[in-house]
Amino acid sequence: RSQGGNAYQNELASNGPYQFFAAFRNNELDYQQFYRSLPADVVARQMRAELNEPNARFIGKDPLDIRRAIDNPGAPRTPNIVLVTIESFSAKYMGSNGDDRNLTPNLDALRAQSLYFNNFYATGTRTDRGLEAITLAIPPTPGRSIVKRIGRESGFASLGQQLRSVGYDSVFVYGGRGYFDNMNAFFSGNGYRVVDQSSVEESEIHFKNAWGMADEDLYTQTLKLADADYAQQRPFLLQLMTTSNHRPYTYPDGRIDIKSGKGRDGAVKYTDYAIGEFLKAARQKPWFDNTIFVFVADHTAGSAGKEDLPISNYQIPLFIYAPKLIPARENAQLASQIDLAPTLLGLLNLDYESTFFGRNLLQDNPLPPRVLVGNYQHLGLFDGQDLAILSPRQGLRRHDQALGASQESRVPDSDPLIQRGISYYQSASYGFKQQLLGWKAPKAAADELSQR
């Protein structure tokens, strides 16, 4: 309990080392208490500059509410989406990025056939952070991810919820057991149904380890789900999370030329092999031509470095593959996992009410480039050149030339890059706390439900 005779003293006490370590132990770090804030009008102005896309209209009553009506041009379409989140997959593994071990022949071939983003970043260093960013399009607020905030992990305007409201079967498909990291509660509370290892007959699992079934078994289940939805003429979002590219790096024998359990190289090559086999099978399906396949990582294989946020260690690949729907090309704009959901909804020409902090990467707009990266304590904004870092106890730093010399300096909160960083994290934390990021069913869908 805080000691002290007045509110000012209590605030000083609660911002001290004891309170910080208590918060750290409880996995909760309150942004307002531990990080630098700016006046609401400054943050509101900055966030409008960050998210002011041509087809977006801010509709929230609170100045810090980023809720927007998105009016995507064109007739809405309902292609299927298979969104594969690959465990621990760094962009640097790919042969097409200069790796000479031939670990990714399938993905290297797929790159030439996809809309491929070659300047793309994860928001964090753990699976739950990647799933949070891809599903909710929110920056990594301090402390634990929303996925793991038990009791406060549901009711958000997620990618799955948006698509479910227009008739999609939104399914989270996981190779392991979804009680791990609270995934089942998070996804089932945010518009998805869950299919995980415990939903699958043992006879259909040909290989498993401590983390779950082998990727090829996960993809077999995915094909079955897609076939069932197609038979019912229902569009689907199948959002997968793989497990094979993870310690102990074991996988079925006879698939690749590296023996199972011998380390990360084999797991990467097996991951690539399973993707190749999955796409080979999918190409034979009647639903293939009308399906968008997305391959993205949850995070990289290693994020440790000499610095708090070594930005190069956050780079991951993003493939969007739909040969009949999307022309193949390379896209070099700076982007991250929080931009994926709005980009997919833009590809569908869907009008919707957005609480996403990400942007549609496929529209022409001159919005200032940025990615948001964090670990448990440190929160960063990288603009392609320099990195702003916010730390507990009001810490503010810049790393200039963050991918190169990375010169660190202490800076005031008037620094423009720091202001951008504070604005994102302050508004995201405020939105979460004030429940401004909740799902609101579209009026037409709500009316239809009320008439049933």
DSSP per-residue string spanning 2-22: --SSSHHHHHHHHTSHHHHHH
CA 32 to CA 29: how far, in whole Å? Answer: 9
Is 391 inside any structural domain?
Answer: no
Say whether both 194 and 273 belong to one domain: yes
User: How many Cα atoms are found within 13 Å in the side-chain-facing hemisphere of 39?
Assistant: 4
Q: Cα separations (Å) of 70 from 55, 87, 183?
A: 6, 31, 28
446 in a structural domain: no
Residues 241, 156 share a domain: yes
Based on the domain organization, do 125 and 201 belong to the same domain?
yes
Whether 66 maps to a domain, the answer reads no
> Which of 331, 354, 377 is a domain's end point?
354
Residue 451 in domain: no
Show pLDDT as tens, one digit a residue, over the chain (452 residues): 333 334 333 433 455 666 656 665 556 689 999 999 999 999 999 999 999 999 999 999 999 999 999 999 999 999 999 999 999 999 999 999 999 999 999 999 999 999 999 999 999 999 999 999 999 999 999 989 999 999 999 999 999 999 999 999 999 999 999 999 999 999 999 999 999 999 999 999 999 999 999 999 999 999 999 999 999 999 999 999 999 999 999 999 999 999 999 999 999 999 999 999 999 999 999 999 999 999 999 999 876 667 889 999 999 999 999 999 999 999 999 999 999 999 999 999 999 999 999 999 999 877 999 999 999 899 999 999 999 999 999 999 999 999 999 999 999 999 999 999 999 999 999 999 999 999 998 875 544 434 43
Residues 177 and 319 placed together within one structural domain of the fold: yes
- Within-domain flag for 158: yes
Residues 292 and 223 in one domain: yes
> Quick one: residue 449, left, alpha or beta (phi over 0 = left, psi -120 to 50 = alpha)?
alpha
Residue-wise pLDDT tens digits, 411-437? 999 999 999 999 999 999 999 999 999
Does 27 share its domain with 88?
no
Q: Residue 281's pLDDT is what?
A: 98
Q: Are residue 236 and residue 342 in the same domain, yes or no?
A: yes
Residue 125 and residue 29 share a domain: no
Domain with 130 in it: what CATH number? 3.40.720.10
- Is the Cα dihedral 77, 318, 188, 206 positive or negative? positive
pTM for this one?
0.93
> Are 240 and 101 members of one domain?
yes
The residue segments making up the domain with residue 248 are 80-354
Per DSSP, the chain holds a count of helices (H) and strands (E) of 13, 19
- Find out whether 93 and 270 touch, Cβ atoms under 8 Å: no
Give the pLDDT score at 4. Answer: 39
At position 134, the amino acid (one-letter code) is: I
**Per-residue CA distances from 107 to 81, 110, 198, 342 (Å):** 18, 5, 29, 24
In a domain, 392, yes or no: no
Is the backbone peptide bond immediately before 412 cis, with ω within 30 degrees of 0? no
Residue type, 76: P
- What total number of domains does the chain contain? 2
Q: Would you say residue 299 lies in a domain?
A: yes
Q: Among residues 335, 354, 373, which one ends one of the domains?
A: 354
Q: What is the pLDDT of residues 146-160, one digit of tens each?
A: 999 999 999 999 999
Residues 126 and 192 in one domain: yes
Contacts of 195-199 with C-beta under 8 Å, sequence gap 24+, read: 195/171, 195/221, 195/225, 196/172
User: Residue 338 falls within a domain, yes or no?
Assistant: yes
* Rg (the chain; Cα; Å): 22
pLDDT score at 441: 85
